Amino acid sequence: MTILSSIRPFPTVLALFALGMAPVSPLQAQESGLVAGQETGKSFVETFSSLDKKRWYISDGWANGDHQNCTWAADQVKVADGTLSLGFVRKETKDRKHACAEIQTHARFGYGTYEARIKAVKGSGFNTGFFTYIGPTHKQPWDEIDFEFLGKDPSTVQLNSYVNGKGGNEKLVPVPGNADTAFNDYAFVWEKDRLRYYIDGKLVHTVANPAALPTHAQKIYLSLWASDTLTSWLGKFSDPAEPVAAQFTRVAFTAPGDPCQFPESVACSLK
């Protein structure tokens, strides 16, 4: 793997990383504003009038592991008419038969409200992701918070979190009208003592177990990929006849105490 900035293991391949690392530079409730010597990201709203390269890094030229049947490719990341499209296409890319797409923030973010407006991809074997992650490739423990859309069943979305490499917090929740047929608003509010997930402004899940609450600032990721091997999780891969794309029209982060940034924001009604 040429660049390691987005390696992220999945539930069936936990052995890819050592999970016994001691915590490094915990959030400390963001009181200092610093994590591992880096200032944590500030509130923002991205509406994709263009792709701000100062905010976003485009993954290009590698894959996350043998389980992924596509290579990240910059030409599958497109922005037009206020929409980010992350594509998947049959295309020879190094040792893979497909190309797929991911972007990630340069900055890391801590406690606050994370939001995205998404239309996911339908299809067995596919995964559309809106998540935060930090891990060993960043010289940090593996912490993660997920919305993962499993294309085999777009009527639901999988919620999950990892703390120092330990997951097992999966929960499937219904998506109104299905995740692939229209845009829906997805949000999670990450606090020191709880994690709350929302769909279209409605609370759908709360996590208050300290063992399931990440403590390290993380990057924000948007992705589309597929797998030939993770069939028990994603289903048997069905190669689409035409290119497909996940679409995003808004991504936002609102830090605790900052005013809400757009009328539909979950941050406008938080208590």
**Tens-place pLDDT, residues 196-228:** 999 999 999 999 999 999 999 999 999 999 999
* Residue 95 to residue 115: CA distance in whole angstroms: 35
Going by pLDDT thresholds of 50, 70 and 90, the confidence category of residue 39 is low
- Closest of 168, 156, 163 to residue 235, by C-alpha: 156
pLDDT of residue 59: 97
Element at 232 (helix H, strand E): helix 231-234
pLDDT in tens, 46-83: 999 999 999 999 999 999 999 999 999 999 999 999 99
% of the chain beyond a pLDDT of 90: 83
Q: Is 170 a catalytic residue?
A: no
pLDDT of residue 40: 80
Q: In this model, does residue 96 exceed pLDDT 90?
A: yes
Element at 233 (helix H, strand E): helix 231-234
pLDDT in tens, 169-186: 999 999 999 999 999 999
Give the sign of the dihedral formed by CA 144, CA 150, CA 154, CA 155. Answer: negative
User: Taking phi first (over 0 means left), then psi (-120 to 50 degrees means alpha), and beta for anything else, what does residue 112 get?
Assistant: left
pLDDT in tens, 130-141: 999 999 989 999
3-state SS class at 92? strand
* Residue 179 to residue 124: CA distance in whole angstroms: 14
Q: In this model, does residue 249 exceed pLDDT 60?
A: yes
Q: Say which of 92, 102, 148, 264 is annotated catalytic.
A: 148
Going by pLDDT thresholds of 50, 70 and 90, the confidence category of residue 25 is very low
* Residue 11 to residue 167: CA distance in whole angstroms: 7
Q: Say which of 31, 39, 144, 242 is annotated catalytic.
A: 144
E strand segments, the chain = 34-35, 38-39, 44-46, 56-58, 70-72, 77-80, 83-93, 96-105, 112-119, 126-134, 143-150, 156-162, 171-174, 184-190, 195-199, 202-207, 219-226, 244-254
pLDDT in tens, 74-85: 999 999 999 999
User: Taking phi first (over 0 means left), then psi (-120 to 50 degrees means alpha), and beta for anything else, what does residue 30 get?
Assistant: left
- The arithmetic mean of pLDDT across residues 135-150, rounded, is 95
pLDDT of residue 177: 96
Phi, psi (5° rounding) for residue 133?
Answer: -155, 145
* Mean pLDDT score across all residues of the chain: 88
Q: Is 144 a catalytic residue?
A: yes
- pTM value is 0.88
pLDDT in tens, 101-140: 999 999 999 999 999 999 999 999 999 999 999 999 899 9
* Residue 21 to residue 50: CA distance in whole angstroms: 39
pLDDT of residue 240: 96
Domains of the chain (ranges, CATH numbers): 40-269 (2.60.120.200)
The first and second tokens of residue 52, run together, are: 């701000």
Supply the DSSP symbol for 180: T
